[in-house]
Structure formats: C-alpha cells, structure tokens
Amino acid sequence: MWLAPLGFLALFYFYPLSSILQVSFARGESGWMGALLDTLASSSTYGVLGFTFWQAVLSTLLTLAVGLPGAYLFARYRFPGKSLLQALTTIPFVMPTLVVAAAFNTLLGPRGWINLGLMQIFSLEVPPVVLTNSLAGILLAHVFYNTTIVLRMVGDFWSHIDPRLVQAAQVLGGNRWRTFWQVTVPLLLPVVLAASLLVFIFDFSSFGVILLLGGPRFATLEVEIYTQTVSLFNLPTAASLAVIQLACTLGLTVMYTRLSNRVSRPLSLRPKTYTQERLASRRSRLFAGGMLVLLMTLFILPLVSLAFRSITHLESTRLDTQPIQRGLTLDFYRELSVNRRQSMFYAPPTSAIGLSLGYASATVLLSLLLGLPAAWSLARSAQNPFNRLMDPLLMLPLGTSAVTLGLGFIIALDQPPLDLRNSWALIPLAHTLVAFPFVVRSLAPALRSIRPQLHQAAATLGASPGVVFRTIDLPLVGRSLLVAAVFAFTISLGEFGATAMIARPEYPTVPVAIYRFISQPGAMNYGQALALSTLLMLITSLGILLIERLRVAEVGEF
Amino acid sequence: MLQIIDIHKSFGGTTALLGVSFNVQQGEIVALLGPSGCGKSTLLGIIAGLFPPDKGEVLWEGNALAGVPVHQRGFGLMFQDYALFPHMNVARNIAFGLHTLDQSPAEIEHRVTETLELVGLPGFEKRDVNTLSGGEQQRVALARSLAPHPRLLMLDEPLGSLDRSLRERLVVDLKRILHQMRQTAIYVTHDQEEAFVIADRVVVMKAGKVEQIGMPQEIYCNPASPFVARFLDMSNFIAGEIILDNGQPVLSTTLGRFATSHPARGAVSVLIRPDAARLDGSGMVKLEGKLLEHSFRGSSQRIRVQFADQVLSFDFPTATDLPAVGTTLPISLDTDQGILIFPA
C-alpha cells in the first residue's frame, strides 16, 4: 500500500530537494559548498532573511489580534447567520494568492476604489493611499489569509471547553481577571501556540502576496529564490537560499507537529450546544456587531470590490482618445478570448482557463490515487511504528515552500535520468505534491471512523462483503473523498509559487496569466487580470463552500 | 442563614422555576430532590450567582445577595461532572480557591494536605487529575470546594456519574465529612435514597415548584401529594369516596370499606403503601388476590397482585415465603399505617 505514495514522494519530493542540496553544496569557485557559504556570507541574505522573519512575526501578531476575538465569538455564542459567516470566513484560506492580491489592489491599490474615490472628491492628481509596494499591504493580505486558521483551530477548541470550568473558578472566589489568566488562558495556550506557528509558517513562506503587493522593495526568501532563478538564472544562489528556507520551514513544521500533539490533551470536551449561549446582553451584542463588521470588511469587501471592478469601466482603455465611457461593461471578459498579438508565445486567456482546468483534473486524479492508499494505511494501524513515522513524513510537503518545490523540479527534472522539461505532466505533478497533505488529512479521519465492529455488525445482519462496501464504506468515505477531490482541484487551480517557476511561457495557467496581465501597464490588461481573478474566485469559492457543506468536522484538525 | 424567597426564572420560553421558597439553617444539610428538569440545578446556579433570578430574592443572614458577584459570595459549588481544571494537578486544583484568601504558601499547602486527608486521598497532591478514577475525581472536587471553608456548600448531583455500589459508599462518607465540618450544605439529587441518607431536611421539587419540605422520615411517611408518593416509588393508587355512614366517615373503594378519620368528603385518591400488605391476616381489611408476578430485588421482593379490577404492588422482606405465581393468596391490609388519602 505504501509503495505508490512513497515512490511518488521519493521521485518528486526528495529527489528534487536533494538536487537542490547538491547544487548548493557543489564545489564552486571558493571550494566545497561554495555557493551556500557565499550566500551565507552575503549581507543581502541576512537582509532578506531578517525581513522574512520580521514580516512573518508582524503578520502573525496581527492575525491573532483579529482572529482571537473572532474565535471567542464563534466559540461562545449562537446567533442567526453564524454558519453562513463561518463558511464565508473559510473562503480566503484556499483563495489563490493572485486573486487576493488583485482583490486588495481593486480596493486599495493606486487604481482601486478608495484611491479613485478620494482623487475624485478632492481632485487629486496622485493616489493618496499607498498600499501596494508597502509593508501594510503585505500584512493586510496575510491577515486576510490566515485569520481563518485562528478562527478554526482556536474557535473549535474553545467551543468544546466546558464552561463550568470558568464557573467553578468563579465560585471558588476567582474574579474575572484571575479566572481568565489561570483557567481560560492555560487551557487555550497550546492551541493558540499551534495556530500561531501554522500562521507563521504560511507567512514565512508566502510568495504571491509579497511578489504582487510588496513590489521591488520587499523581498522574502521565496521572492528572492524566484528572482534568482527566473530573472538572474543564478541557480547555485537560488539553491542555497532554498536550503536556508527548507531548514527554517522544516524546523517550524517539526515544532508545529509537537505542539499540535499537545493540543489533544485529555479535556472534558462538551458538545457545542452545551457551551454556547445567545447574544443576550447589550455588551455581547455590541461585541458581536463590531466583530461581524470587521470580519465582513476584511473577508468580503476585497472580494466584492474585485468582482465589481472587473465589470466597471473607469479609465481609458488602450489608446482611445474619446472621452472615457464610465459604466458597467463586459469588455474585459470578452477580451479574454482574443489573441491580439498574434504571437506564437501568446496564448489567449481562455486557453489558460482550459489548461488550468485540465491540470486541476489531472491533479485530482493523481492525488486521490496516491492519497487513498496512504490514508488507508495510516487509518488501518495508527499504532504501527512505521505508520507513526510516515504521518509526519507525508506532511512534509505542507511545510515546504512551493517556490522551493518548483526550483527542485527545475534543477532535478530537466536532465536524465528523469527529463520532464518538455512534459505537460510537470505542473500536475507539482500541484499533486502541494495538494497531497490536504488529501491525506481529509481522507484519514473518515477511513479511521470505519471501525471493524461496523463491518461485523453489517455482516451479522446478513450483508455480503460487496453490500458492506456499498452500504457502509462508500457512504462513510464518499463525502470525504469528495472533499479531498475539491481540495485538490481548488489548490491546483490557484497554485502560483511552483507554477510560476516551471510553467512554460506559451502554456500559462490562470494565475500565471493574471500575474502577466497585472505586471503589464494599461487599463485593458488590468481589467483582464481582474476578470480572470473574478472567474478564479468564483470557482474557488464554490469549491470551498462545497467542502464546508461536506466535511466531517474534527477538533483542531487541519 | 440562607433564605430563598419566591424565586422565578425562565430561559427563553421555557420556565425553570415558578416561585420557590425555603430556608437553610446553620450546619444543616438540605437535599433538593426531584426528577431531572425540575429546576434544581437552575436554583443552585441562582444561589451561587451564576445567573440572576427573574423575580425573588436570595438572602444570607438577612442580607440580599442580588448584585454580589459569584466570586465574592463565599459559597462553594461542586459540579455534576466535577469540572476539575485539566491543566492543573490535584494540589493546584484544591489551592485555587485558597489564593484569594490571602494565605501564605505554607498555610495553603497545609490546608491542601489537610483537605486531602479529610476526603481520604492523602498523598495525592502531585497527581494529574486526568488520570484519576471517577471516585477519586469526586473526592478531589469535594476537597476543592471544601478547602476555602465556604459559608455554604452546594453539591449538584455529586454522585450522579458513579456506579451504584460506589455511590452508596460515598454518600455515607460525604455525610460524615460534611457533619464533621458542621458544613451548611444544599445537596441536589434525583435519587431519593441518596437524599434520605444525607439530608437533615428534604425539599421535593416538581416542575419549578416546591412540592413538600420535611425531614426524610416525615416525607416518606406522609408524602404531601400523589406526585411525591409516586416519586418515592409508591404507585398503588385507587379511586375512592368518603361518605358518611351513620354520621361516621367511611372510605369506600372497590377493595372494600374502611373507617377513616380523614376530613375530606366525596371523591378521593387512595394510596396503598407497598409495605401495607400482611400475609398473616393481621391487617384490618382482608382480601384475596391472584399473584401475577414476582421479582427479587436483593434485600426485598416485590409481587404484583390482581384484585377484582385492580393490580397492586407489594414489597416483602426477602426472607418471606411466597407462593408460586398464579396462585390465589389471602392478603390483609394494615389500614392504620398503610393507607394515605389525597383529595381527588
């Protein structure tokens, strides 16, 4: 059972990573490990590394500041529209970075609603709000992305803590303050730390957001690896940076797995109906109202602004001299299917959509074929020492940055023994690596829930093995199989980091096409980027809402 | 000491308490007895200050407690599933309530040790609460609520999640400990035996109202209503009528007519206690019935007997020799002690 998933990981994860190590450790002008030593000696490396840490720390703190009150709201109160809001707050998590960047651009960018509005009102020549190419933009996008993690992990755990622990502390004479610090905080601390670490890992290896919203001034390790590879073609330096990146993320991932094990501390967990109350007092209503406005502004406003902007004419397109026609338009969408440049290397965006859908389907197929046996083996015998080793091993790709994976593919898979340089399979393979941990995590709990007693019970009631499979296994696993498939599909559709490294110019995926449009000047290019982003956003949102409806909830499972 | 005056409370649309009043004296153990959902736990929450009543007052030594927050009331509450803090060991759980009392670490440590000895768990200070058995957790929870010397201790079904044999042993221990400390306490339970063993007085509740207040024996001998009787496992009710025969009140039922001194007249409901039956013919009213069913219950045995159009249940000591099921047996009823009359 392990053969296929392990073979896949060996070939497309460990082999490319070892190639990166090889390149950075290889003999250079200054001897063995020259590239790595040079990179480590360079002060610019420390600048990049320092900034990577700094922005990740800031982003994590901001995410906690928004996420913890939100987690409290979801954990302790019942209110109408709550499940819808919970589903909506999940949307950002799998939203492609390019879409998020474009969305914030339409809201706060130089041509965004707020700047255009302010310029109109005060007759300004220059956009007053500078969010692109600024740290603020990066932080905002990271908060947008990762608040979901805090809401989910902490909120879920919090909602299952017995409220009588707090009551017991109060009856014993603890005032509000002491009860909070001595009972609530220690109970929540492990899960808060685990969530923070996960947020930190994602912020640390963030790529698309920084590339698009950070501009040339800000470079994290990821962006630097990309620049060194794609613009400067300096593979040894890129590989050395990737080694540093790997060391950091692997260390953080190990810490995360340790911490999340501590979260499963034996607690008297309670059903939610028992722990939650209605918004009865004026204070709780005020708090909930404020939180709702904040979350809606953060999560929904940028996306709505993106969709609306993609069908609005605000500026002159191309070189037209006529006065600008303001109003609603579908021009940007129509333009997507036109090949204006008649260039061989230019593919019309519609073909990018077709290509992305094809890659996504291939990714679904591949990741399910590999993930199912892996999840099945994990679920069958969790106590088996080999399986206990495999569990974190399978999660490794989650902690490895996409750009590093892409770099590994470039270095390892373009020469014999495995030359896939010209193969279309390269992209679905990379996407499968990224999606694989999510697929396994979605499938394993469902498979584990099929206890042998269920089979025995069905058999004693007269069901043949075929009937048992059809009436017991399939319904229990079917939902999570669908969840895993949708996960793989949306991840593949939105994947940018690895794709940006390995996609060939004439075959761009949708995110790559969006990036190209955004990098080029002109309102028509901008509009098309927004139109593509909107399409991607709609598909992804549908996928996530589907996952939300179908998935079997587990405490703290991510 | 504690006065509970006309407490009303409803949650959303459902009414939990409908005007409950009673008092608790210094050093007294009062049991709140009633089926689940009768409002017992809600009442404890109101006395503890976890939520306010809609109407009514709680007084302590004559002073109204409304507005005094939970943590300043100085009451103890032992929760149903104990609510031990899972992130603290046994000693820290018990010490939690002592920190607010401005005691020195040495005093706190001494009190923790002392309380653990009192509940019969000496040396358990460093144990992880998650690894304790149900009975041990119960004792730690008791120690935690006793340690700060609460003015009033409330226990919410403290033995509810334990198995029967453990429960019977612990309830005696509990009573000994509470008496030893002269602890004023309110004990909530739905188990009449528990209530009778532990309480000086019992308050029987039904659907948010007090049905009867009295000493255990009083309640058992003179249940104030058919509800209380049924709750105490007495279910032989038959219809009757009290008429005047030559100026003397006489109770007339399908089982026969008996003299009575009950002041009611007209239709009444008659309870025949399960221990009212005699096999030796010593009862006033003599009957014959067919033995339908026989069940052995350990220290007693119960039979169901068919009379003309009534089926009644009776209890006998285990040693009593009973005929086989299906036979007809003579039964006489002790009408002095064994019959209770309720206005219909």
Number of residues that make up chain B: 344
Find the domain containing A152 and state its range. Answer: 3-274+281-314+323-550
Distance CA B41, CA B34 (A): 10
Q: Which residues, 6+ apart, have CB-to-CB distance to A392 below 8 Å?
A: A253, A254, A257
What pLDDT sits at residue A268? 54
User: Which residue out of B47, B75, B96, B112 would a mutagenesis test of the A interface target, given it has the greatest number of A Cβ atoms within 10 Å?
Assistant: B96
CA angle A255, A259, A262 (to 5 degrees): 150
Q: How far apart are the first and last CA of chain A?
A: 24
* CB contacts < 8 A (A, B): 76
Instruction: Confirm or reject contact between A184 and chain B (CB < 8 A).
Output: no
Give the residue numbers spanning the domain of B77: 2-231
CATH number of residue B279's parent domain: 2.40.50.140
Whether the bond between B223 and the residue before it is cis, its omega within 30 degrees of 0, is no
CB distance from A169 to chain B under 8 Å? Answer: yes
Burial of B181 (0-12, 13-18, 19+ CB in 10 A): middle
Instruction: State how far the Cα of B173 lies from the Cα of B163, in Å rounded to an integer.
Output: 15
Confidence band for A217, pLDDT divided at 50, 70 and 90: confident
In a domain? residue A352: yes
Say what the pLDDT of residue A266 is: 47
Contact B179, B164 (CB under 8 A): no
Distance from C-alpha of A542 to C-alpha of A536, rounded to nearest angstrom: 10
- CB atoms A167 and B86 under 8 Å: no
Token match 């034996």: residue? Answer: A266
What are φ and ψ of residue B314, in 5° steps?
-135, 145
Q: Is the dihedral of CA A89, A91, A97, A100 positive or negative?
A: negative
- Give the A window 518-557 contacts with B, CB below 8 Å: none
Which string of DSSP letters, residue by residue, matches B84-109?
--TTSBHHHHHHGGGGGGT--HHHHH
User: Is A327 buried (19+), middle (13-18) or exposed (0-12) by CB count in 10 A?
Assistant: exposed
Helix axes A426-449, A349-380, angle to 10 degrees: 40
Per-residue model confidence (pLDDT) at position B54: 92
A215 touches chain B (CB under 8 A): no
How confident is the model at residue A554, as a pLDDT? Answer: 41
CA angle A68, A551, A288 (to 5 degrees): 30
Q: Indicate yes or no: CB of B86 within 8 angstroms of CB of A171.
A: no
Query: Do B77 and A266 count as a contact with CB atoms less than 8 A apart?
Result: no
Contact yes or no for B76 and A165 at CB 8 A: no
Q: How many domains does chain A have?
A: 1
Q: Is B72 on the interface with A (CB under 8 A)?
A: yes
Judge whether B75 is closer than 8 Å to chain A, CB to CB. yes
> In this complex, which of B50, B86, B97 lies closest to A173 when CB atoms are compared?
B97
Q: What is the CATH number of the domain that holds B113?
A: 3.40.50.300
Q: Is the dihedral of CA A249, A254, A258, A261 positive or negative?
A: positive
pLDDT attached to residue A270: 59
Q: Are residues B175 and B276 in the same domain?
A: no
Residue B57: CB atoms within 10 A of its CB come to: 14
| pLDDT given for residue A207 in this prediction | 86
Hey, how many other C-beta atoms are within 10 angstroms of the C-beta on A210?
Answer: 27
Instruction: Give the pLDDT score at A246.
Output: 85
| Cα pseudo-dihedral A246, A249, A251, A254, rounded to 10 | -120
For A521, counting Cβ atoms within 10 Å of its Cβ (0-12 exposed, 13-18 middle, 19+ buried), the class is: exposed
Q: How many CA atoms lie within 13 A of A459 on its CB side?
A: 6
Among A281-285, A342-346, A371-375, which stretch is predicted with the lowest mean pLDDT? A342-346
Q: Give yes or no for B96 touching A (CB within 8 A).
A: yes
Q: How far apart are CA A314 and CA A196, in angstroms?
A: 41
Which has the higher per-residue pLDDT, A410 or A315? Answer: A410
Q: For A54-79, write each residue's pLDDT tens digit.
A: 999 999 999 999 999 999 998 888 88
pLDDT of residue A320: 46
Q: Do B38 and B164 sit in the same domain of this protein?
A: yes
Collect all residues of chain A within an 8 Å Cβ-Cβ radius of residue B87: 186-187, 265
Q: What does the pLDDT look like over A239-256, one tens digit per residue?
A: 888 888 888 888 887 788
The percent of residues above 70 in pLDDT, for chain A, comes to 84
What CATH number does residue A301 fall under? 1.10.3720.10
Do B254 and B197 share a structural domain? no
Q: What is the mean pLDDT of residues A2-12?
A: 83
- Say whether residue B76 is in contact with chain A using an 8 A CB cutoff: yes
**Which residue of A165, A171, A265 is in closest CB contact with B75?**
A171
Residue A558 is assigned to a structural domain of this protein: no
Show Cβ contacts of residue B91 under 8 Å, excluding neighbours closer than 6 positions: B109, B112, B125, B126
Looking at the partner chain, which of B75, B77, B83 has a beta carbon nearest the beta carbon of A165? B83
**What pLDDT score was predicted for residue B7?**
94
Q: What is the DSSP letter of A28?
A: B
Q: Compare CB distances from A165 to B69, B75, B85 and report the shortest one's residue.
A: B85
Q: Which two three-digit tokens encode residue A331?
A: 């021009």
Closest to B86 (Cβ–Cβ): which among A172, A268, A278?
Answer: A268
Cα B59 from chain centroid? 23
Q: Does B70 touch chain A (CB under 8 A)?
A: yes
Mean pLDDT per block of 10 residues along chain B (344 residues) reads: 92 84 94 89 89 92 89 87 84 86 87 91 90 88 90 90 82 90 93 92 93 93 90 88 87 83 86 87 83 87 87 88 87 83 84
Report angle CA B241, B246, B251 to the nearest 5 degrees: 20
* One domain, residues B71 and B183: yes
pLDDT, averaged across chain A: 79
Best interface-test mutation with A: which of B70, B88, B89, B115 has the largest number of A CBs within 10 A? B70
Same domain for B159 and B57: yes
Q: Which of B12, B87, B97 sits opposite A172 (nearest CB)?
A: B97
Q: Do the chains contact at A172 and B96, CB–CB below 8 Å?
A: yes
Q: Which of B180, B203, B231 is the last residue of a domain?
A: B231
| Non-local CB neighbours of A117 within 8 Å, separated by 6+ positions | none
Both tokens assigned to A62: 């901001």
pLDDT of residue A383 exceeding 70: no
Beta-strand pair B209-214/B201-206: antiparallel
Beta strands B209-214; B55-60: pairing state: unpaired
Q: Do B50 and A172 touch (CB under 8 A)?
A: no
- pLDDT top residue among A39 and A437: A437
The answer to whether residues B63 and B160 belong to one domain is yes
For residues A492 and A499, what is the distance between their CA atoms, to the nearest angstrom? 9
- In this structure, the number of other CB atoms found within 10 A of the CB of residue A538 comes to 13
Structure confidence at residue A166 (pLDDT): 86
DSSP for B177-218, written as a single string: HHHHTT--EEEEES-HHHHHHH-SEEEEEETTEEEEEE-HHH
* CA distances from residue A297 to A139, A285, A305 in whole angstroms, order as listed: 15, 18, 11
CA pseudo-torsion sign A198, A201, A206, A210: positive
Residue finishing a domain among B231, B260, B294: B231
**pLDDT at position A324 over 60:** no
What is the number of domains present in chain B?
A: 2
Q: How many CA atoms lie within 13 A of A474 on its CB side?
A: 7
pTM equals 0.76
Amino acid identity of A151? Answer: L
d(CA A542, CA A481): 17
Q: Which residues contact A276 (CB under 8 A, 6 or more apart)?
A: A75, A76, A77, A78, A159
- Pair B253, B333 in one domain: yes
Report chain B residues whose CB lies below 8 A from the CB of A157.
none
Radius of gyration (C-alpha) of chain A in whole angstroms: 25
Write the pLDDT tens digit of every residue in A285-320: 888 889 888 888 888 888 888 888 888 776 654 444
**A271 close contact with B: CB closer than 8 A:** no
Cα distances from B209 to residues B21, B28, B44, B198, in angstroms, run 9, 21, 14, 22
Q: Are residues B59 and B129 in the same domain?
A: yes
Give residue A271's pLDDT. 58
Q: Is residue A189 part of a domain?
A: yes
Q: How far apart are CA A55 and CA A108, in angstroms?
A: 20
Three-state SS across B278-320?
ECCCCCCEEEEEEEEEEEECCCEEEEEEECCCCEEEEEEECCC
Give a yes or no: residue A384 inside a domain: yes
Q: What is the largest CA-CA distance in chain A?
A: 81
Q: What's the CA gap between B50 and B57, in Å, rounded?
A: 14
Q: Any idea which residue has 């991840």 for tokens?
A: A491
Residue B76 with chain A: CB contacts under 8 Å: 171-172
Same domain flag for B251 and B146: no
* Nearest of B269, B257, B282 to residue B337 by alpha carbon: B282
Q: Is B83 on the interface with A (CB under 8 A)?
A: yes
B161 — contact with chain A (CB < 8 Å)?
A: no
Integer Cα distance of A58 and A359 in angstroms: 35
pLDDT digit string, tens, across residues A93-139? 778 888 888 888 888 877 778 877 888 788 777 777 777 678 888 89
Residues on chain B touching A162 (C-beta within 8 angstroms): 81, 83
Whether residue B272 is found in the same domain as residue B218: no
In angstroms, rounded to a whole number, what is the distance separating the alpha carbons of residues A204 and A402?
Answer: 12
**In Å, what is the CA distance from B217 to each residue of B23, B136, B185, B224?**
19, 31, 19, 13
- The token duo for B82 is 């104990």
Domain end (from B178, B198, B231): B231
Same domain? For B227 and B137 the reply is yes
Q: What is the pLDDT of residue A515?
A: 86
H/E stretch holding A45 reads helix A43-76
Alpha-carbon span A340 to A335, nearest angstrom: 9
Q: Are B125 and B157 members of one domain? A: yes
